[in-house]
Chains A and B, each alone.
Chain A
Amino acid sequence: MILDWLLPVLISVALLLAVAGMLKRISLWRAGQPEKVSFFSGLMAMPRRYLVDLHHVVERDKYMSKTHVATAGGFVLSMVLILAVHLFGVENRWLSYALLSALVLMFVGALFVFKRRLNPPSRLSKGPWMRLPKSLLMFAVSFFIATLPAAGILPENFGGWLLAAVLAAGIVWGMGELLFGMGWGGPMKHAFAGSLHLAFHRRPERFGGGRSTGLKPVDLTAAKLGVEKPTDFKWNQLLGFDACVQCGKCEAMCPAFAAGQPLNPKKLIQDMVVGLAGGSDAKFAGSPYPGIEVGKAEGGPNKTITEGLVSPDTLWSCTTCRACVEECPMMIEHVDAIVDMRRFLTLEKGNTPNKGAEVLDNLIATDNPNGFNPGSRMNWAADQNLRVMKDVKEADVLFWVSDGAFDMRSQRILRSFVKVLKAANVDFAVLGDEERDSGDVARRLGDDATFQSLAKRNIAAMSQYKFKRIVTTDPHAFHCLKNEYADLYPEGQKPDYEVLHHTTFINELVKAGALSLEEFKGGTVTYHDPCYLGRYNGEYDSPRELLNELGIEIAEMERSGFRSRCCGGGGGAPITDIPGERRIADMRMAEIKETGAELVAVGCQQCTAMLEGVVEPRAEVKDIAELVADALIEGDAPVSKKNGKQAKPNADKRVAEEIL
């Protein structure tokens, strides 16, 4: 029979071509900057990362995870068996049966892929991706029939040359998509690039339930700062872009996309692919950047990205909320890429849009974004009688005040938190005028030089004093202190303190019985997860527990927890202020309204500012610290009776000590 000699030839040719394509692709990645990865342990860990970590993300969509398990599992299994049965000609009936079952599995999976593609949601890319289910079916069916004789179910030479020709055609199609296409940039590229991306991921800490969200520091002595051309990315970032399956989950979660700002994370990653391979975006078959036509962008590995490939406005639309990263089943790092490109625009081109330049100048000259006199940082606390580290040198808790000190609305949050701290007799102190902006905004705006300068001076200030924990009401400062400062400690030193968000800390106090709270007597309450607390630091529970302690039953929004939608205030977005069709904060408030909540509890002064900026009528916005402070039963704190009002907060700190 013809197939007896034709099949091995076809398979060999397809494999050879696939390998050639893969080598070509690898050379494209290698044009990126060097980055150390643990090569072998990465490869060894890859199956686990794929089967466990990645599966956990895909599992959020049960339909798709089952479909993918069947299709991909069936394909990998059948490919191995095809090599045995049809290439090496192993004549074993059971092996053939196994191949048949694997192909059936793949066929069933492919049917579901097909079904989903009948009426695909807008987030899915069309184009070649619409062909994929048919190719999968063709591969499974052709090989199934071609394997029947080997299994002894059909006689040899069944169907004669006509069937052989049809099968050969089907097999060429199937293998063309699944093997050749894998190496040469077809939809199946995701399997090849994706598995290597998992092996050489730039943030291996993310696997095995870990978390890695801090941005990587820039080497300020480098000849070029930030990413100008695709080849300025690290090689494994380029590899990561190639792993994209264009499922559009990022697009569906992106607040900037929803607001009609010119950003679509999926398109951005695809544009990076265009950049690394060279060409134009004409073949992109998904949603465009809102307001920007597809087909006009052109790029190449050594062409400046922001000149022709991606508009700077696209990069500045991002709120760095990490919703895309959280959602990406391929664990691609969109935010890293965006900030890398912003770094070039800010540090090399001096092109931070709108108020960006002014804010950065202020941060450089006054250590706060609004240019206030740095000596007035403690003015908000003139009546608070706070202990300053310079005087006391030592405290259990360092209260990181953050730039909320300069903002009258945020000061209400700070006062509330101080009231709570005093009621619980916590031994705390502040840095006072020695504190500086955490550097969050500077870093997200791409100015890593200013971030590093602020961070180093903050570290120097903190290093003079002894404390066990830092507590802050600002999730952005929280994130910087907890996840980003460690990189900037002087050689041989590392932070020896724990960093907590105030909701975590108050929750501990309540659990330890250091606070007595009365029942909340308001209407319906919902909770808005700040991105930098939730997705960046995984703190979803403490705020909710705390609200429950107040007797509040949270009316959850549809987008909550790890799927919470950004308020629009992160990543310097209110400063760069890229126009869209809607405001992100308005969309979030509409979601709050859907729950029927009269009050939205937040844990971030930035979120407070953004949500309170929505025109009334709208839900009232309160920080959890304010809710707790309002609910405090004063003078009746479990241990402080004999002290009366807490004039000396550390006079009796038994309870505080118990939990510290």
Chain B
Amino acid sequence: MRFASKRQTVEAIDEDAGVSLLIVEPEDMWHANNLIAVGDVIHAPALRKVTMTTATGSTVGKSVRTNLSIKVKSTFFDPLASELKVSGTVVNENDWVSVGQHHTITLKYEKADIKFTIWKSAGWDSVALQTLKEALSEDRPEAIVAVVMHEGLANICLITDFRTIVKQRVESSIPKKRSSAKEASGGMAAFYEKTLSNLRSNVDFSQPRTLLLASPGFVAQDFRAYMQSEAARTGDKTLQRMAKEAVVVHSSTGHVHSLNEVLRSPEVKKTMHDTRFTTETNLMDQFYERLRKDDGKAWYGTKPVEKAVAEGAVGRGGGVLLVNNAFFRSMDVATRKKYVALVDKVKADGGEARLLSSDHESGKRLEALGGIAAILTYPMFDLDEDEDEEGDIEGAVAADNSAEGTTVL
């Protein structure tokens, strides 16, 4: 994204005039989705269907291009198409619409730069500013292509700096050993063929780019060998280069969450150091490591983290607050203020506050923990004490079961 005006800076935002931005690449829609919150006002080009009555009294429907200002009620982001649909009520009247009518604006990347203006209802707080800075950053590493696979399943993923997009999931059933060995290897070849054709139709390989192949056992290795033999057979130079440059990594399954393992592997660290997602993966690993030790320095969930931050335990010397950015997206103004205050407090204390992208695997791990977690500078205990009351209903169920004993094994 870019500011529409060259004079505009992040430091000097005029809240009343709004911030005008240009959409310059598809990835911008993801940022726009994080930027636009419910209650904000958006001014953007829209396509409106209008009905007109002619002189004879017949009606004609037609679509007109017009600029509309709407107050946002809801947003919907389609990650595969990279489209953002913003719905709300019109706040500025023009020839085609009147105030209070509903409209849904579809924001997407087009050849000509699209300009939209945003007025934040809660003002430009520190979290919003950070999101804006990230959106404006031009230093973007190339998206990495990763194929995570096991026998009969392949997930083709695109890892950009801010999100992981599962482009295609390839599933095929492989006849098992019982039937003759010949049929089984035929099944694998068919699976590789399907995966390769999906990979090439989903990702543009005309420019060299990093390709990671990850699997347990020999599947990824065999897939690369398959690519090589196909390249030799067809004389396809692009495929030849792809096969040559592909990095084979070990993962324990072919499910998307195995990407965490892939990003941690030495092969990947060597080629891609210091990208945002490797840092995030590292942070989550650190957090889990602390949690395992149970040393009172790692806490998750809103209440314990709030308490820890209030005590100033997330501060200088290793304090890290991890918040999922999806958290800020769907929140009323009061709750948002509370969390922004949390982030500000940590920053003021000298700690690190990180907004993890919920569209990365590390963010998904954080989501499992309730979207918020913290690594403390000194141990604190019993932060979760008064949470017990909610568990009473389940306690009753547990009591019923207790008669059978715990013969788990």
Tell me, yes or no, whether A binds B.
Answer: no
Residues of A that sit less than 8 Å from B by CB: none
B→A interface (CB under 8 Å): none
